[in-house]
Structure 1
Amino acid sequence: MDYQRKKKLTNYTIGLIFLSGGIEYAVILPTIWAYLQTLDAEPYFLGLAISAFSFAGLLTGPLFGYWSDRTCQTKAIILFANMFQIAGNFMYFVGGSKWMLLSSRLVAGVGTGAGASIFGYLTRTTASEERATVFAGVMACRQFGLLVGPACNLFLRLCNFRIGPFVVNKFTSPGLFMCLVWILLQVVVVTMYYDLQLPPSAQPSRAGLRVPQDALDDEEVEPLMRHEAGPEEAVERGGYGSTTAVERPEPSLGDEFRYVPNGHLADEEAADKKEKSPFHDFSSMREYLREEVVVLLTAQFVTLFNQTALETMVTPITQRYLSFGELENSIMYFLCGAEVIVGFFLVRFLSARLSDRVILVLGLVICHVACVWCLLFLGRPQGTFPVLLTELVVGVFLQVLGLPFVAVSQVSLFSKVTAERTQGFSQGLRRSVGGIATILGPLWAGGLTTNLYIMLGVMMGLLTLLMIMVGLSYAYLLEPPRQYLSPGTSQDECHS
């Protein structure tokens, strides 16, 4: 089988993985509160159950990412992680007590850590200029799952039979359904996923430089750094106190140079001499303390905190003020999923015309308007059914519309301002920050559903703070024009 066919099958498999993750989220979320109520669970158990899923991913994301950085065996990581998805959803199907339900979400959440390895793989195998488009496509697959999930609930809610000692009804059937989906996905990963190396035209040269195959000489590789016009052509390297000068690379090679973020050439050269873990000392960890990295991690936290808080808040509000049941909630999530997919296609279109940081700002402005609307009209819901429904729909519509803009842009920017050799760990760290947000968001919202002003006020304050941070760091949220050699881990250097 040729390389292009293997790559296409691998990309399809990645899409199915994210699609299945979206389906699981959308199948479980609309019914879990009613399921917990049948088990005499207290209201705060809703926040605990939702947060447990994110807590497990928070812990395993960096670990799976580091595993993929060391071995580049993403396939093995996915197969291992999916075992937890299968077990967790089977536990959800068995049910029996509120503690079993809580444990099931904790176990299933372990499997989400494989996402860090997948993002690391995508970063290593895509050019920086197409990365936003690729990430938008992958995220759109998950959002399509959020669209399909509620549609599945329309049929699962009709289940009412037994399998031996187990009862299959509208509450337990989502667990059984997702267990079967993840088992099927295991077969797909085994047969269709390949841990691909870079094609010959993009393989690193002996100097660690990614160059076209026809540019390689059989006897000698062109040196990366060369003197052209004396010392005045040298550029100073900003490697945290380093004053060593390096020459600009040939502009003709342009994007064929592997990107080293914001002057981290010294750290990359040190990594080439001696292989080190991301944990080896503080000088490695300072990469994640740079201004632009902190801003992007803050964007990850704030947007996911607001998103999960709003999702947790919406179901009790619709039940209290609009008398919505699981059918109405499923339809609502279905429509939100359709809107998000449209949003990702819009971002995919705009990413070819606008920079990532411009798309980030647009998304934050939309989310900010959504928070203002919710604070004004949903803080104290009043009025007739049509008025309340309109206020809710507009607030949720605006919030959902801004999410694809922020999600794609901050992921793409983060992959460009962190070192390529540790992308698995970096993406795991980013997802862990998001995991913290998805833990605190539901817990916060679950405890304040009776005081929406406080909850919405905090959401508004966090978003305002983020917009100020992005404004102050706007100049740094851009890939520098210099593209130096990154002699870090390549596909050929991965350890088994």
Structure 2
Amino acid sequence: SLQTDENRGLVSDQPVNRCCDSMADCCCCRCLTAKLRVVLIGSTWGLLTGVERAIILPTLWLYFYNKFDMSAAVRFYGATLAAFNISALVCTPLFGWLSQRNYVRVKFLLIAANQLEIAGNLLYFVAPQPWLIFLGRFVAGVGAGAEPPLYADVVRVTTKKERTGVIVYLLLARQFGLIAGPALTLLMHPLRYKVKKFVIDVYNSPGLFMALLWAVHTIAIIAIYPTISHSRFAGGNGDEVAAESTDTSQKPSRSASYDALHEASSQVAEAEPQQQQQQQQQQQEDQPSCFSMDKMKLYLKIDTFAMLFVTFSSYFNLMALEAVLPPAANRYFGWDEFNTSLVYLGAGILVIFVYLVVKFLSAKFEDRLLLLTGICILIGAYFWNFMALIFVERAKPTLYITLVLLGITGHVIGMPFTFALPESLYTKSVPVGEMDIAQGVFRSVIALSILVGPLIGGSLQFVPWLVFLSMLVLSVFSLLLTLRAYRSLDYP
């Protein structure tokens, strides 16, 4: 007899086997579709990574300074920031490769990554020496590299039509984490608790807090994360194989289920010789290196390369702006951390609103058209700030603060377009059977831009107009590449 599994809806449009008639009858995780479970885990992953970044970075310098001394802060602060990004950059393609080759199931990869996050954050919490803080962030960065298989599963359980909306939800969850981080820091600020000679305060408590959150996330993965068969998607285009019912209350009749099962059994019996041939062919293809020249060409196609470049440009611009804004605003306008925090808070709220607008517009307009709109907004914003900072006059701070804030507002409005839409278009340009490796490449590009952006922005803090000029140049190249690939980006 033909055995059923929870992912049948991914390949057949038939209702997924449920454990109950309705959510009210049972709280079992199988009442959720595979799609919903993958997206739920992906959203909480994004939420926790956002919280971790926003809760640790603002206190890291003071952690070194208060627990050790100024010398330790100067020596280890920059290296610790880079350690997380470098380990994530190195391990991101590794996780994608392990998943692509089916050496380890995605569920176990995510569990292992969470254990690394827990270990790294616990090291950060207890560190008696500054180099252990560095090591803790390095280990946590290794765990953060597990995004490729998770996002590849997100692609597998979504159709091309709905993918942009799902990606927007994942990015929204991360944005909520970035906003929640500073609020949690404020709540932890009065914390000071002694256990013998060990002091728990606002500087090391983020490590313990994040370790607990990642432990809860691990339990959620064990409880609800489904097993998505990669072999079903080999060579598929992702649209036919990803249609899954999301109706949790629909249940087919017994006779209809029997007919569907009988028909499926006949189809499987007829298809067995073909499947054996395909499996043998697939095994022969898998013998060479997983990154052959033919696969290399996949990432040099104009549509794929354009989306990778737009993604690099977008994250580079974000990180460069975050690096240059505080020192430049302090130098020209006399801003302290309170003023900068208000700007970040306002920007975070506006970003959430713009993401919702992108979600709405993606159902009405083509992704490629919305992407062009976002890039044009960014070009206008960076040119505006470039001109404002060239002619800045410290004698008129109110006027130039207004001009700079208008430019930053344009940056905030354009960013969600250039974050969500290139990612969605990229997943549509790559075969689903190659999605794990493809996500490894995509996430590596993001990790590289996150590493390079602060280095450029921080090193050019004394000439901030030059930072905005570099952002402007990258955005113009992004526009030209997108226009060149515009016809190729017309996906059904």
TM superposition score category, shorter chain reference: 0.7 to 0.9
Q: CA deviation at 1:50?
A: 3.1
- Equivalent position of 2:213 in the other structure: 181
Match for residue 397 of structure 1 among 384, 402, 409: 409
Q: What SS does the aligned partner of 2:286 have?
A: coil
Distance 1:183 1:375 in 2: 45
- Equivalent position of 2:87 in the other structure: 56
Distance 2:75 2:374 in 1: 31
- Equivalent position of 1:374 in the other structure: 385
- Equivalent position of 2:53 in the other structure: 25
- Equivalent runs, 1:315-354 vs 2, <5 Å: 315-321=326-332, 328-354=339-365
Change (3 A) 1:369 1:423: same
Distance 1:268 1:361 in 2: 42
Q: CA deviation at 1:347?
A: 1.0
Distance 1:35 1:203 in 2: 47
Matched, 1:69 2:81: no
- Equivalent position of 1:490 in the other structure: none
Change (3 A) 1:318 1:193: farther
Change (3 A) 1:353 1:90: same
Match for residue 418 of structure 2 among 406, 411, 432: 406
Which amino acid counterpart does residue 488 of structure 2 have in structure 1?
Y
- Equivalent position of 1:134 in the other structure: 166
Which amino acid counterpart does residue 88 of structure 1 have in structure 2?
G
1:412-440 residue CA offsets vs partner (Å, 9 max, x unmatched): 11101111111011011011011111111
Q: TM-score, normalised by structure 1?
A: 0.78
- Equivalent position of 1:447 in the other structure: 459
- Equivalent position of 2:478 in the other structure: 466
Match for residue 282 of structure 1 among 282, 293, 307: 293
Q: What SS does the aligned partner of 1:126 have?
A: coil
- Equivalent runs, 1:108-257 vs 2, <5 Å: 108-196=140-228, 210=241, 219=266
- Equivalent position of 1:310 in the other structure: 321
Q: CA deviation at 1:214?
A: 6.2
Change (3 A) 1:370 1:162: farther
Q: CA deviation at 1:26?
A: 1.4
Q: What SS does the aligned partner of 1:274 have?
A: helix
- Equivalent position of 1:239 in the other structure: none
Distance 2:211 2:130 in 1: 19
Q: CA deviation at 1:88?
A: 2.0
Distance 1:109 1:468 in 2: 34
Q: What SS does the aligned partner of 1:354 have?
A: coil
RMSD: 3.4
Distance 1:34 1:395 in 2: 31
Which amino acid counterpart does residue 26 of structure 1 have in structure 2?
A
1:296-318 residue CA offsets vs partner (Å, 9 max, x unmatched): 11111111111111111223334
- Equivalent runs, 1:414-453 vs 2, <5 Å: 414-453=426-465
Change (3 A) 1:385 1:352: same
Change (3 A) 1:185 1:312: same
Distance 1:168 1:392 in 2: 40
- Equivalent position of 1:478 in the other structure: 490
Distance 1:430 1:338 in 2: 27
Asked if 1 retains the 8 angstrom alpha-carbon contact of 2:39 and 2:166, the reply is no
Q: Which moved more, 1:3-12 or 1:394-403?
A: 3-12
Q: What SS does the aligned partner of 1:341 have?
A: helix
- Equivalent position of 1:240 in the other structure: none
Q: CA deviation at 1:444?
A: 1.4
Distance 2:399 2:353 in 1: 26
Q: Which runs of 5 or more structure 1 residues have no equivalent in the other structure?
A: 225-266, 482-496
Change (3 A) 1:155 1:222: same
Asked if 1 retains the 8 angstrom alpha-carbon contact of 2:358 and 2:417, the reply is yes
Asked if 2 retains the 8 angstrom alpha-carbon contact of 1:132 and 1:412, the reply is yes
Q: Which has the higher helix share?
A: 2
Asked if 1 retains the 8 angstrom alpha-carbon contact of 2:159 and 2:242, the reply is no
Q: CA deviation at 1:281?
A: 2.4
Distance 2:279 2:373 in 1: 34
Change (3 A) 1:397 1:29: farther
Which amino acid counterpart does residue 184 of structure 1 have in structure 2?
V
1:131-171 residue CA offsets vs partner (Å, 9 max, x unmatched): 11111111111111112111112212222233444333332
Q: What SS does the aligned partner of 1:449 have?
A: coil
Which amino acid counterpart does residue 150 of structure 1 have in structure 2?
P
Distance 2:235 2:447 in 1: 38
Q: Which moved more, 1:470-479 or 1:87-96?
A: 87-96
Count of residue pairs the alignment pairs up: 434
Q: What SS does the aligned partner of 1:189 have?
A: helix
Matched, 1:15 2:43: yes
Distance 1:181 1:131 in 2: 27
Distance 1:444 1:321 in 2: 20
Which amino acid counterpart does residue 92 of structure 1 have in structure 2?
Y
Q: TM-score, normalised by structure 2?
A: 0.78
Q: Which moved more, 1:434-443 or 1:37-46?
A: 37-46
Distance 1:318 1:93 in 2: 32
Asked if 1 retains the 8 angstrom alpha-carbon contact of 2:386 and 2:466, the reply is no
Match for residue 121 of structure 2 among 79, 86, 89: 89
Change (3 A) 1:76 1:273: same
Q: CA deviation at 1:270?
A: 6.4
Asked if 1 retains the 8 angstrom alpha-carbon contact of 2:100 and 2:434, the reply is yes
Which amino acid counterpart does residue 309 of structure 2 have in structure 1?
T
Q: What SS does the aligned partner of 2:194 have?
A: strand
Distance 1:396 1:387 in 2: 15
Q: What SS does the aligned partner of 1:167 have?
A: strand
Asked if 2 retains the 8 angstrom alpha-carbon contact of 1:86 and 1:179, the reply is yes
Which amino acid counterpart does residue 100 of structure 2 have in structure 1?
D
Which amino acid counterpart does residue 286 of structure 2 have in structure 1?
E
Change (3 A) 1:105 1:270: same
Asked if 2 retains the 8 angstrom alpha-carbon contact of 1:22 and 1:144, the reply is yes
1:354-385 residue CA offsets vs partner (Å, 9 max, x unmatched): 11111211111121122112212245573455
- Equivalent runs, 1:265-276 vs 2, <5 Å: 271=282, 274-275=285-286
Q: Which runs of 5 or more structure 2 residues have no equivalent in the other structure?
A: 1-17, 20-29, 244-258, 272-277
Distance 2:260 2:142 in 1: 44
Q: What SS does the aligned partner of 1:289 have?
A: coil
Asked if 2 retains the 8 angstrom alpha-carbon contact of 1:61 and 1:113, the reply is yes
Asked if 2 retains the 8 angstrom alpha-carbon contact of 1:148 and 1:334, the reply is no
- Equivalent runs, 1:1-12 vs 2, <5 Å: 2=19, 3-7=30-34, 8-12=36-40
Asked if 2 retains the 8 angstrom alpha-carbon contact of 1:147 and 1:336, the reply is no
Distance 1:74 1:122 in 2: 11
Matched, 1:361 2:388: no
